[in-house]
Amino acid sequence: MITLFKGMALTGGEWVIYLLGICSILAVAVMVERAILFSKEKKEFKKVEEEFLKVMQSLNFSQISQTFQNFTGLSGRILRTGLLQSQRGAHAVEEEILSVTSKEKQRLEKRMIILGTLGNNAIYIGLFGTVLGVIKAFHDLSENGNSGPEVVMQGLSEALIATAVGLLVALPCVVAYNILQKQIKDLLLDTESLARLLLAKLKS
């Protein structure tokens, strides 16, 4: 086992850079996919809000339910579920809305764990590559006693590239994660405001 670890340590950190490259591609794919989804959710919310406020004035819940059949996003699903339970009273509607909201939140947060994990750990992966590179640099120096310090410095500079790549992967992931989480929060709050309006109408 010790021999295996020693052998891995002497391979250097180049393979770690390739691993970080794969992680960066995965992170970009998640960012693009989530950004497209949230853009669609925002556009649909505006339509849902317009239709909801328009029909709520007439208190024609059956019409609202039929209208919302065409909406497949967060706001449409939550309000449609609440409206289908409107005959059971405000309490039943509130419970149904809470249940669907929880499921919808999970749907919106899907794959976000990838960005969170890479944002927190990519730098450590890079540091791991740097440590391996430093080990290899000193090992090469010991194997070639006639080599000057410039050889070691070259090895160290190459090893530090892994840390730089780790930072390059981690920072965008952290920024994207925070932005996307903010969008999820905004979507949930906007939909909650409409749901509260529905509950107020049912209780009045």
Tens place of pLDDT per residue across the chain (204 aa): 666 656 665 666 788 999 999 999 999 999 999 999 999 999 998 988 888 887 777 666 666 666 777 788 888 888 888 777 767 777 888 888 888 889 999 999 999 999 999 999 999 999 998 888 888 877 777 777 665 666 667 777 878 898 999 999 999 999 999 999 999 999 999 988 888 887 887 777
Q: Are 66 and 55 in contact (CB under 8 A)?
A: no
Domain extent, residue 19, equals 2-203
Q: Measure the CA dihedral 147/149/151/154, to 10°.
A: 180
Indicate yes or no: pTM above 0.85.
Answer: no
Nearest to 131 by CA among 168, 96, 159: 159
In the chain the first and final C-alpha atoms are separated, in Å, by 72
Q: Count structural domains, the chain.
A: 1
**Alpha carbons within 13 A on the beta-carbon side of 93:** 23
